[in-house]
């Protein structure tokens, strides 16, 4: 290892860590198989670098299982530089192929022989359920295959003893997100990016001509892409294989489309999964739907089939981080494996990396298909997991408005307000709140321009149709201000009285959190504030206590990642150039740290991890070493408030001086472009779901008080709704106070700091890394009482 020690790592912990996880004498083979997916390269890069880091040999197996069977030049040892510059590339650089030979025992014999010759007894397979099933069969047959090879004199008996068992770890790379046991598969988020880019583009032309568009998206057996993109763009109707439309859907759909037109909506979007079926398991095609709309309604209708566009393009920030985390976890799992360890899959649950038994997941995935074949559609949806079920229920609530006569009135008025800086996805959250509120019988009031507008009485009732088309809009349509309510308490209380507001939903960042604390403290003085109040975190900084994620952070992360990609390309052209990039985030290093992980940065300076001149010096030395290799460029991120004195200019000047003759420097401040832009699919979906959940909480609180005229005084009636590890939690602001560093406006504990060593390892620094417990395989889908936080 010629990487430099990271000065922040105590020497003892590093030594212990490397002893615990020594890969010396191990050989790991990595292959991608089945259909390609964006982010596979990030996974390959992480496996290769983590493997080399712990002292193992890592081999590329080109062209999937076919390369393993053919051997020869298809199995090649990889080095650190062979995975340089692939993080931002879609598809897979080691190729993927569907392989018939591996399905036969002869094929697997050849493959085993090729692996044994190189001493490869650990396999990391990146692919769908077919590829992972193949790996499982290979593992169970391994000792038998070796014995047969030894009998035929192809390998020696020593080799049989030395390489007597095979360990397998899988990562799911599939854009369909059709694998049970994992919340997100590698490539799904990027495929959603492609779909949403197209939908946004189609919406503008459809609007001009008052057209109906039928969009066909991928998903032969799984409707995840169709469902989530329908949720993210507010489609009028969606067809999924797991949940076919009820008998007589043709008429219902036409009524729905014409109702929407009557509400002054100039376009209709219908999304169809390629595997869509009716309740009799007969296919529903996009052409059929078009014919129906044209003959029944006479609307000008067009069909767009997205096809392989969805597999292409550069991976999103989410997929790069997911794949990097999974790749590192996969190597750790292989090093901790014993001869008895069954094949496992590393996957994501909430935002926790977990290991699951591979065959249980595959069996569950096949159960879904079986349920669909047997027309047990309710079971199919349930088996897909809770996040799929939640998505479906949320979509139904937001897409279909019941006639007013069928909605029981609650006689409650609920206010919605945006506070703080704008964040992409705020509008999706407002839309979801308004529609869920109306469907629960409340009157919804929009408060314009934050607490300031509240005090001035800028409050209007807002209807179902008023929020149509809001999901894809960036910024904040209601307008937002950073002003806190403290100095306007009298006026706000008066406005709440005037409009009879019986609950409040606040969507915003740290100011919203402070505002909620001030309103809750003012309850003694103003009884108007004795109502249920809940905050949904929305800020690019992701610094709200009580939640691991906030609306808007994913969009900002993608902006940073895209910019870094372009900058790296420019640096590769000029050679020997280091870029220093300043990101937003206040004192919270989330954007700098995660942006560094997603863009493959050499260092990221953040406030949470204090650094001094020695660290800067060691980073310069590290870059000087790097310039001697074939990778002659550097990328350094700096959070805007990471240090009062080590400013971006200072770091730029230091690097320029110290790197004289070796590399030159450029600096770039990204600024407010991180707050703008159309929201990413993740932010639209997250905003929609978390806000809908907040409205349900408000309704349940209001139901408790019906007829009792009770005032809400308890702490649990003022909450922040957030994601914590794997669950959605409502936490009273009073309890969150002790977890907050008010001076720096960040939570005292932040989950993503655990991922810091990941970035450093992948950039060739020696650091220790917190390893999950050995051999802890989790059961698939334990059904706990808490709410799952899958996005």
pLDDT digits (tens, 9 = 90+) for 150-168: 999 999 999 999 999 999 9
pLDDT score for 183:
86
Q: Please determine, for residue 9, whether its predicted confidence score (pLDDT) is greater than 50.
A: no
Could you tell me where the beta strands, DSSP code E, fall in 568-614?
577-583, 603-605
Q: What is the average pLDDT across 215-226?
A: 95
Residue 787 has pLDDT above 90, yes or no: no
pLDDT digits (tens, 9 = 90+) for 517-567: 999 999 999 999 999 999 999 999 999 999 999 999 999 999 999 999 999
pLDDT in tens, 724-770: 877 889 999 999 999 999 999 999 999 999 999 999 999 998 887 77
Left (φ > 0), alpha (ψ -120 to 50) or beta: where does 604 sit?
beta
C-alpha gyration radius of the chain: 27
pLDDT at 350 over 80: no
Is residue 349 over pLDDT 60?
A: yes
Residue positions counted in the chain? 791
DSSP for 132-153?
Answer: HHHHHHHHHHHHHHHHHHHHTT
The string of pLDDT tens digits covering residues 47-68 is: 999 999 999 999 999 999 999 9
**Could you give the CA distance from residue 550 to residue 555 in angstroms, rounded to a whole number?**
11
Cα 234 to Cα 252: distance, rounded to the nearest angstrom? 18
In degrees, to the nearest 5, what angle opens at C-alpha 122 toward C-alphas 116 and 124?
A: 125
Ramachandran region of residue 469, left (φ > 0), alpha (ψ -120 to 50) or beta? left
Q: Residue 400: its pLDDT value, please?
A: 86
Which stretch of 389-403, 485-499, 508-522, 603-617 has the lowest confidence by average pLDDT?
389-403
Report pLDDT for 477: 97
Q: How many helices (H) and strands (E) does the chain have?
A: 25, 27
pLDDT (average), residues 592-600:
96
d(CA 311, CA 316): 12
Over range 3-23, report the average pLDDT.
58
Q: Please say whether the dihedral angle defined by the alpha carbons of residues 318, 321, 324 and 328, taken in this order, is positive or negative.
A: negative
Per-residue confidence (pLDDT) for residue 642, from 0 to 100: 97
Q: Mean of the pLDDT values across residues 504-515?
A: 97
- Residue 637: strand, helix, or coil: strand
Work out the pLDDT band at 516, boundaries 50, 70, 90: very high
- 12 pLDDT band, cuts 50/70/90, is low
pLDDT of residue 714: 86
Residue 401: pLDDT band with limits 50, 70, 90: confident
pLDDT digits 0-9 by tens, 653-711: 999 999 999 999 999 999 999 998 999 999 999 999 999 999 999 999 999 877 666 68
Asked if 191 and 284 count as a contact pair (C-beta separation under 8 A), the reply is no
Report in angstroms the alpha-carbon separations of 570 from 347, 482, 573: 34, 37, 5
- Are 736 and 544 in contact, with CB atoms under 8 Å apart? no
More confident residue, 773 or 212: 212
Write the pLDDT tens digit of every residue in 487-505: 999 999 999 999 999 999 9
Task: State the residue for tokens 């300043």.
Answer: 582
Task: Tell me how far the alpha carbon of residue 625 is from its chain's centroid.
Answer: 34
Of 137-146, 199-208, 469-478, minimum mean pLDDT range:
199-208
Q: What percent of the chain has pLDDT over 70?
A: 94
- Euclidean distance between CA atoms 289 and 303, whole angstroms: 9
At 6, the pLDDT band (50, 70, 90 cuts) reads very low
| Whether 711 contacts 527, CB under 8 Å | yes
Using a 10 angstrom Cβ sphere, with 0-12 exposed, 13-18 middle and 19 or more buried, the burial of residue 434 is buried
Q: Residue 446 in 3-state DSSP? A: strand
- Is the pTM value of this prediction over 0.75? yes
User: What was the pLDDT predicted at 265?
Assistant: 85
For residue 356, the cross-strand partners are 345
Burial classification of residue 660, based on how many CB atoms lie within 10 Å of its CB (0-12 exposed, 13-18 middle, 19 or more buried): exposed
Section 420-447 average pLDDT: 97
Q: Say what the pLDDT of residue 784 is.
A: 44
Half-sphere exposure of 131 (CA within 13 A, CB side): 29
What integer best gives the mean pLDDT of the chain? 92
Q: Is the pLDDT of residue 14 over 80?
A: no
| pLDDT value of position 162 | 93
* Catalytic center residues: 176
Give the pLDDT band of residue 574 (cuts 50, 70, 90).
confident
Residue 655's SS3 state is helix
Confidence label for 772 from pLDDT (cuts 50, 70 and 90) = low
Q: Are the CB atoms for 223 and 377 separated by under 8 Å?
A: no
Instruction: Give the Cα separation of 758 and 610 in Å (integer).
Output: 18
- Determine what percent of the chain is predicted with pLDDT higher than 90: 83
Residue 176: closest CA among 273, 317, 42, 43? 273
């Amino acid at each position: 290892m010629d990487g430099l020690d990271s000065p922040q790592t105590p020497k003892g912990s590093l030594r212990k860590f490397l002893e615990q996880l020594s890969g010396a004498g191990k050989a790991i083979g990595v292959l991608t198989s089945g259909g390609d997916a964006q982010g596979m390269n990030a996974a390959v890069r992480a496996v290769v670098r983590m493997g080399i880091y712990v002292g193992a040999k890592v081999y590329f197996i080109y062209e999937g299982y076919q390369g393993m069977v053919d051997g020869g030049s298809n199995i090649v040892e990889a080095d650190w530089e062979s995975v340089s510059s692939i993080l931002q590339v879609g598809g897979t650089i080691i190729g993927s192929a569907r392989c018939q030979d591996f399905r036969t025992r002869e094929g697997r014999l050849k493959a085993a022989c090729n692996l044994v010759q190189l001493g490869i007894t650990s396999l990391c397979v990146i692919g769908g359920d077919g590829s992972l099933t193949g790996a499982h069969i290979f593992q169970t047959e391994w000792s038998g295959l070796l014995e047969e090879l030894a009998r035929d004199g192809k390998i020696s008996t020593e080799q049989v003893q030395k390489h007597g068992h095979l360990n397998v770890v899988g990562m799911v790379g599939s854009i369909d997100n059709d694998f049970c046991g994992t919340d997100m598969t590698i490539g799904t988020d990027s495929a959603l990016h492609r779909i949403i880019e197209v939908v946004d583009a189609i919406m503008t032309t459809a609007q001009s001509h008052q057209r109906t568009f039928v969009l066909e998206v991928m998903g032969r057996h799984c409707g995840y892409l169709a469902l989530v993109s329908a949720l993210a763009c507010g489609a009028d109707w969606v067809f999924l294989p797991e949940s076919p439309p009820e008998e007589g859907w043709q008429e219902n759909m036409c009524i729905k489309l014409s109702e929407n037109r009557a509400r002054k909506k100039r376009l209709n979007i219908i999304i169809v999964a390629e595997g869509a079926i009716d309740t009799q398991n007969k296919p529903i095609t996009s052409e059929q739907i078009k014919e129906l709309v044209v003959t029944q309604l006479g609307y000008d209708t067009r069909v767009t089939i997205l096809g392989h566009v969805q597999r292409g393009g550069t991976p999103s920030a989410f997929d790069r981080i997911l794949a990097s985390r999974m790749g590192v976890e996969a190597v750790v799992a292989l090093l901790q494996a014993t001869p008895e360890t069954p094949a496992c899959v590393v996957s994501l649950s909430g935002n926790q990396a977990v290991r699951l038994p591979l065959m249980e997941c595959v069996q569950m995935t096949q159960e879904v298909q079986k349920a669909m074949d047997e027309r047990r559609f309710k079971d199919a949806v349930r088996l897909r997991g809770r996040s799929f079920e939640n998505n479906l229920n949320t979509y139904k609530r937001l897409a279909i408005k019941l006639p007013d006569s069928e909605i029981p009135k609650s006689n409650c008025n609920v206010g919605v307000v945006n506070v703080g800086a704008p964040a992409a996805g705020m509008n999706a959250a407002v839309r979801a709140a308004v529609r869920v509120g109306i469907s629960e019988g409340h009157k919804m009031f929009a408060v314009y321009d934050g607490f300031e507008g509240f005090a001035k009485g800028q409050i209007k009732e807002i209807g179902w149709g008023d929020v149509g088309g809001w999901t894809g809009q960036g910024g904040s349509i209601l307008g937002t201000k950073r002003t806190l309510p403290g100095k306007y308490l009298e006026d706000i209380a008066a406005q709440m009285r005037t409009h009879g507001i019986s609950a409040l939903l606040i969507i915003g960042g740290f100011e919203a959190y402070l505002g909620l604390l001030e309103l809750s403290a003012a309850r003694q003085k103003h009884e108007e504030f004795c109502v249920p109040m809940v905050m949904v975190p929305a800020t690019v900084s992701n610094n709200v206590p009580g939640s691991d994620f906030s609306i808007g952070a994913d969009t900002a992360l993608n902006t940073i990642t895209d910019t870094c990609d372009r900058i790296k390309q420019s640096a590769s052209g000029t050679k020997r150039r280091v870029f220093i990039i300043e990101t937003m985030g206040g004192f919270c290093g989330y954007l700098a740290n995660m942006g560094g992980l997603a863009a493959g940065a050499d260092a990221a300076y953040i406030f949470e991890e204090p650094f001094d001149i020695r660290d800067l010096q060691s980073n310069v030395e590290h870059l000087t070493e790097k310039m001697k290799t074939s990778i002659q460029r550097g990328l350094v991120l700096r959070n805007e408030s990471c240090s009062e004195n080590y400013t971006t200019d200072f770091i730029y000047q230091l690097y320029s001086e110290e790197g004289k003759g070796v590399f030159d420097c450029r600096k770039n401040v990204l600024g407010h472009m991180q707050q703008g832009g159309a929201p990413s699919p993740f932010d639209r979906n997250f905003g929609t779901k978390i806000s809908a959940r907040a409205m349900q909480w408000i309704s349940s609180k209001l139901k408790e008080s019906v007829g009792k005229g009770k005032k809400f005084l308890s702490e649990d009636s003022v909450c922040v709704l957030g994601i914590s590890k794997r669950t959605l939690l409502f936490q009273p602001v009073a309890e969150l106070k002790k977890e907050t560093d008010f001076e720096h406006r960040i939570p005292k504990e932040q989950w993503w700091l655990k991922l810091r060593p990941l970035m450093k390892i992948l950039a060739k620094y020696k650091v220790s890394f917190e390893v999950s417990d050995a051999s802890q395989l989790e059961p698939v889908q334990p059904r706990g009482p808490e709410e799952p936080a899958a996005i």
